[in-house]
Structure 1
Amino acid sequence: MEVLLLALLLCAGSSVAQDLWTANMDIIAELQKLKHMDERIQKLEETLTKVMSENEALKTLVQDSQSKLETVQKESEAKKVAFSAGLLASGSKQTGPTNNLTILEYKKVFSNVGSAYDSNTGIFTAPIKGAYYFRFYAHCHGKITMAVSLVKNGVTQCSVYAWKPVSNGNGSNGVILTLEIGDQIYTQLWKNTWVYDDPESYTSFSGFLIFPL
């Protein structure tokens, strides 16, 4: 009887030990799974951090590219400078004489690329540094003196002149000037002289940028 009890106890102990061993193995396996999962999460976080960093770098690169593109576009637009205008927007009349030098205001604007010419003042203002070409024409009737000068910042550059011609008088002149940003160019009627214009635009003023400097 004692032998039988001992045998039963040994069997029960063996079963319990087997169960404990199996439970421990399951726990170890689960712990290993958790460890692998933690490693995968860590790698995923590292990858995500790297992607976010690359995304910020790409965003900065795109912003820099857009800024450079806008700068290039603005510079390209600034290089497009040209205008041409006749003295009268409509009708026919003599302009002058006056007792002072008078800036001629050309109202009939044919083109004004870059908007550097102001028809309200007759003044062209250089938007960028560069070499510019200007040309102007003046017309008068017979027995009337006509004199017009091209002026840069208050200094005469070249002129046209006709002293009381027998019939109509005409004159034209042109010059290439190196201008800084903000330099002003205009034509000026001498005192006690006249110019004439009508829809044919005999008296006109034109200029354009040859190349920037």
Structure 2
Amino acid sequence: MHCTPSQLSMMMMMMMLMKRALQLLLLLVLCCSLCGAKSLGDDGETQEEVSSVREKRCVDDVEERLQQELEKAVSNLKTQLEEQRKRERVAFGASLGSKGGTGPHNAGVTLVYTNVFANAGEAYNPKTGIFTAPLKGVYYFSFSGHHLSSRSMGLQLMKNGVQTVTVYNHAAGNRYETATNGMNLLLEKGDQVYMRLREHTWIMDNINDHSTFVGHLLFPL
């Protein structure tokens, strides 16, 4: 059975809770045992009365401490789980926008999608066009490209400098065309994903945001 980081964190915290509860219960047993020692009260109370009062005070004290420890541990667990969930909220979507239009170039270039619609987790850099995985997991990426078919358009979804999937529209007259593709990728923490425009091709966009780059974390590993 494989557990996600969130599940592992929860299991560890539950084990700590159980360990602490066991320690306090053992303390309760020891305390009650000591309180049960036979002695005669100064005011003439019977041995049973003195022992009963001491035992009740001991039990009340341990129960209060146990309650405090459990509340503190539960609060810490909630905080840790919420922090983990925040780290796992990774999603972005951006377009080239009205200023988007580049190519052809003699070599492939990284496309920078500056019109950002969402960037939860801040893993996408709108200055470089590069997405950097904040944690290991399976991610989904998709992209679309718009162009005037008087010239070819070639787009590559890159992972650490290596092409994963691509689209290529050949020159075919003089009409507007759009191509799309997408893929699930297994990424390690720090892996980089970005879009590259092939050499000798071009891409364009306008206020309708045809040319886009989208990605999000499906689940952590």
Whether TM exceeds 0.5 here: the answer is yes
After superposing on structure 2, the runs of 4+ consecutive aligned residues of structure 1 that deviate more than 6 Å are 39-43
Bigger radius of gyration among the two:
1
CA contact (8 A) 2:149 2:170 kept: no
- Matching residue of 1:187: 195
Q: Distance in 2 between matches of 1:79 and 1:85?
A: 20
Please point out which of 209, 213, 216 is paired with 1:205.
213
Q: Distance in 2 between matches of 1:67 and 1:101?
A: 49
- Matching residue of 1:149: 156
- For residues 130-169 of structure 1, what are the alpha-carbon distances to aligned partners after superposition, in whole Å with 9 as ceiling and x for unaligned? 2222111111223222211001111110111123331234
- Matching residue of 2:30: none
1:114-133 to structure 2, matched below 5 A, reads 114-133=121-140
Unaligned 5+ runs, structure 2: 1-40
Query: Which secondary structure state, in structure 2, belongs to the residue aligned with residue 34 of structure 1?
Result: coil
1:169-188 to structure 2, matched below 5 A, reads 169-188=177-196
Please point out which of 80, 86, 97 is paired with 2:95.
86
For 1:51, the aligned partner's letter is: D
Query: Which secondary structure state, in structure 2, belongs to the residue aligned with residue 74 of structure 1?
Result: helix
- Matching residue of 2:67: 58
Change (3 A) 1:34 1:79: same
**TM-score with structure 1 setting the length:** 0.71
**Percentage of pairs with the same residue:** 35
For 1:66, the aligned partner's letter is: S
Q: Distance in 2 between matches of 1:181 and 1:54?
A: 44
For 1:53, the aligned partner's letter is: V
Unaligned 5+ runs, structure 1: 1-31
Q: Distance in 1 between matches of 2:124 and 2:202?
A: 23
For 2:70, the aligned partner's letter is: L
Q: Distance in 2 between matches of 1:93 and 1:111?
A: 18
